[in-house]
Structure 1
Amino acid sequence: MLIIFVMLIMGLMLGFVGAGGAGVVIAVLSVMFGIPLHTALGTSLGAMVFTTVSGTYSHYREDNVVVKCGVVVGIFGAAGALLGAKLAGLLPAGDLKWLTGGMLFLSAFLLAIRVYFPEWIESFAQGFTAPTGARYWGAASAVGIVSGIMSGTFGIGGMPFILIGLLTVFNMPVHQAAGTTMLISLPIALFGGLGYLINGHLDFSLLAKVIAGLMTGTYIGAKFTRRLSPVILKTTMVTIPVIGGLLLLFGTVR
């Protein structure tokens, strides 16, 4: 019950900022509850499947999803996530915690640029033209595989990295990039979680508790997104992965 309660509190924050929060879930499970790091990674990705479904559907209804790009990049991302899960199984927990913590800090940095300096990303993206033909498939495979490997190996959703790829490589408008990122994250989380299941690092009892807490919390937290100050929203969005990174780097994991 304690795990469900803590996940509920986390869900309130993640629902408020509209983020998947996979990295923070990993940190809390491994440091606060002593869950083996590899199991925390698999559980986090498995839970992300459920937390991204509603977001993808909502964006689709708002016409914010480029379906073809999302499906193609997502397929390559799923393959990368399976490979990433295999790579994670070869890494000792001590090394993996430093790598995952570092990725969380990098994720926070990219989110900070996105929320505080969006014009930088838009200006940078203007220098790219959307690929066509063979270049399209090459770009889709590159963005998908790289994002999938990162997500599968480190257990984080990788949404900031996918978003940057869509904005630059595919020159998408920001609103479409955000919605398509959610669609791409779905198969990545699904097959990444499957990879951890194959490797014996997915605990279904733990997964059910995490999902129950997170989904309840995110549903309630989303109601506060438009009710609180944008300053609080932006600060919380950047702070969450930083907290996760600090927990991993300075906490004890198994």
Structure 2
Amino acid sequence: MMLVEVTATMLLLGLLLGFVGAGGSGFIIAILTVVFGYPIHTALGTALAAMFFSSLSGSVSHYREGNMMLKTGGIVGLAGAIGAWASSSWSSFIPEDQLGWMTSGMLFSSGLALWFRMAYQAKHAGKAESAPMQAKGMKFYLSAAAIGLITGALSGLFGIGSTPFIQLGLMLILGLSMRFAAGTTMLVIMPIALAGGAGYYSVGYLDIQLLIAVVIGTMLGSYVGAKFTKRVPVVMLKTCMVLTPMLGASILLI
């Protein structure tokens, strides 16, 4: 019966996430722990694994639109998978109460990083796009690997998508435009979510039935919610995008 309630709740949550275009892993973690009483380690593993499915559809769409740098995304994603796999086992050594506070802090940081990304985008709007770093040479490989390892470790440890951090790394370090950063990030998240979810499963913190309930609810809700994105003012949409992870962080602190 609880899984039915989880699916229904995730359906409603998916409406919000689809509307603001967010992965919402932090919000999922908050709802599973505070509302349904799941241990935070299980919630982290479930939310991280669920991101694979939401990123899969986004990756296909961005690839078809030509918004993806495959080589760059592959290298960053592979390094991210290593970081997520390693850090997912580290979380088991962190007490639940401390992990909740740390995850909440990361969600607030995600909101701030998202705001910074929007400010960066607005500042460079209308300007000629600078050439990205060439996808070759030691500097490129080291930079791409560093972005992947750091953001992957954050995702694996705290169960979050790290989307704003990945996009900022791709734009500020590798020189990708906002368009290519958004599309390539979808590709990067897939191996991170898969490796992190597998890591949580290997230490017994991934509930497959719960994962199915979360995926069904959020994907159905997101599909419907996305239809309302173009029907609201841009300012309201951007505000909701920044506040969504912060609201999830606030719920975790209850």
Q: TM-score range by the shorter chain?
A: over 0.9
- Alignment partner of 2:168 out of 154, 164, 174: 164
Residue equivalent to 1:181: 185
Residue equivalent to 1:109: 112
1:73 aligns with 2:76: yes
- Alignment partner of 2:19 out of 11, 16, 21: 16
1:192 aligns with 2:196: yes
Residue equivalent to 1:244: 248
1:134 aligns with 2:138: yes
1:145 aligns with 2:149: yes
Amino acid at match of 2:27: V
3-state SS in 2 of match to 1:226: helix
- Whether the aligned pair in 1 keeps the contact of 2:132 and 2:176 (CA below 8 Å) is no
- Whether the aligned pair in 2 keeps the contact of 1:74 and 1:184 (CA below 8 Å) is yes
Amino acid at match of 1:112: W
How far did residue 117 of structure 1 move? 5.0
State the identity as a percent. 46
Moved >6 Å (runs of 4+): 126-129
1:170–1:27: structure 2 CA closer, same or farther, 3 Å change rule? same
Amino acid at match of 1:118: Q
- Whether the aligned pair in 2 keeps the contact of 1:114 and 1:121 (CA below 8 Å) is no
Task: List alignment gaps of at least 5 residues for structure 2.
Answer: none
Residue equivalent to 2:228: 224
3-state SS in 2 of match to 1:225: helix
Cα distance in 1, alignment partners of residues 73 and 132 from structure 2: 18
Cα distance in 2, alignment partners of residues 176 and 84 from structure 1: 27
TM-score normalised by L of structure 1? 0.93
Cα distance in 2, alignment partners of residues 116 and 14 from structure 1: 21
Amino acid at match of 2:154: M
1:128–1:88: structure 2 CA closer, same or farther, 3 Å change rule? farther
Cα distance in 2, alignment partners of residues 189 and 170 from structure 1: 22
- Whether the aligned pair in 2 keeps the contact of 1:15 and 1:218 (CA below 8 Å) is yes
- Alignment partner of 1:208 out of 201, 212, 219: 212
3-state SS in 2 of match to 1:7: helix
TM-score normalised by L of structure 2? 0.93
**What is the count of residue pairs matched by the alignment?**
248
How big is the alpha-carbon RMSD for the aligned residues of Structure 1 and Structure 2?
1.8
How far did residue 119 of structure 1 move? 3.5
Cα distance in 2, alignment partners of residues 199 and 120 from structure 1: 45
Cα distance in 1, alignment partners of residues 199 and 226 from structure 2: 30
- Whether the aligned pair in 2 keeps the contact of 1:16 and 1:223 (CA below 8 Å) is yes
- Whether the aligned pair in 2 keeps the contact of 1:4 and 1:209 (CA below 8 Å) is yes
Cα distance in 1, alignment partners of residues 240 and 52 from structure 2: 22
Amino acid at match of 1:79: I
Cα distance in 1, alignment partners of residues 188 and 157 from structure 2: 17
- Alignment partner of 2:59 out of 56, 61, 71: 56
- Whether the aligned pair in 2 keeps the contact of 1:129 and 1:169 (CA below 8 Å) is no
Amino acid at match of 2:171: L
